[in-house]
Amino acid sequence: MTATTANPPNPDIPAPRANRAIAIWLFACAAMVFAMVVIGGITRLTGSGLSMVEWRPVYGFLPPLSAEAWQRVFDLYRATPQYLEINAGMTVEAFRGIFWWEYFHRLWGRIIGLVFFLPFLWFLIRGRIRGMLALKLFGIFLLGGAQGALGWYMVKSGLVDIPEVSQYRLAAHFFMAFLIYGLLIWTALSLLYPERNAIGDARHHRIRQLAIAALALVAITVVSGAFVAGTDAGFIFNTFPLMDGRIIPPGYFEDLWASFEDLATIQFNHRVLALVTFATVICVWWQSRWLALIPRARRAANVLFIAAVGQVAIGITTLLMVVPVYMGATHQAGALVLFTATIWFVFELRPPSRQAH
């Protein structure tokens, strides 16, 4: 089989200088969101997320600065289910160890907000952002604010009766982070490479549809991974490919709601979704080998393949090692890398505009 011989449009047409500056700023914001997701994973894995029991959006950027201030926040923590049921007897010095991760997680979110809003305001005043682009970026800013409120809503669920946040709220918080990240990446790519270089024939259309399906599967798998994290389902059945000698965990078909509550079912669903996603990505990559793609699109396809193989390897290793903090954080970062590569490839396969036709 040989590759399609049609010549694609002229690739890599440079974007206007103003657009490149905005794109670089958005990529920087996306990189900060990437770091935020990893920091959030470490915060979760170290049990630090419930250490701050107050939400002070305006004044909360300052940590405790005196012994009395530390004692005050520690006394608040000692009234929480996590302290009473898990960390009873913890000293204020040990408390600081978990406090700092959650504090840095929230502080980093505030810094992202400033890094996004201040340049946005400057570009807007200078007239370099206008029209639909201004509305899109303002919408992303509002999503960022909603994400902060959603994060506190998630934390509150672990401060009432049980020392665990709701897996539903965690999944929503996690998905929102990926949504904001994806919008930043897509918008930046659109500014950096405004020309559509895909040929737009039937084969390109089929591959694009399959790539969009792969992107949807990546997103669904990410959400299922949040349920694994929210229920600590990764700390059981630490074998692969079987789950302690079984292909399907016992009682799997008895209760559909168990997909969100039962630990074995949650982990099994994540395994299946991960493998289906992996197979779809490999199919996308293999089919793309026979298309005429510009070099940048070819690189995107190859990066997508490498990201998928790497993420599966990291996921299996994380499971077999019973989720050490560094592997759990790496697996979360790998999900973002795979998500990025899928968005990039879908972007490169945009059909030609009507003007081009």
What's residue 257's pLDDT? 75
How many whole angstroms separate alpha carbon 257 and alpha carbon 255?
5
Q: What is the DSSP string of 239-306?
A: -SSSBTTBSS-TTTTT-TTHHHH-HHHHHHHHHHHHHHHHHHHHHHHHHHTTS---HHHHHHHHHHHH
> Which residues does the chain have with pLDDT short of 50?
1-14, 355-357
What's residue 1's pLDDT? 41
Q: What are phi and psi of 246, to 5 degrees?
A: -115, 145
How many whole angstroms separate alpha carbon 189 and alpha carbon 219?
19
What is the value of pTM for the model shown?
Answer: 0.91
Return the domain boundaries, the chain: 14-195, 197-357
Which tens digits make up the pLDDT trace of 72-98?
Answer: 999 999 999 999 999 998 999 999 999
Cβ 112 vs Cβ 36: under 8 Å: yes
The two counts, helices (H) then strands (E), for the chain are 11, 0
Name every residue whose Cβ is closer than 8 Å to that of residue 61 and which is 6 or more positions away in sequence: 107, 110
How many whole angstroms separate alpha carbon 21 and alpha carbon 116?
13
Cβ 110 vs Cβ 151: under 8 Å: no
Name every residue whose Cβ is closer than 8 Å to that of residue 173 and which is 6 or more positions away in sequence: 147, 150, 151, 154, 226
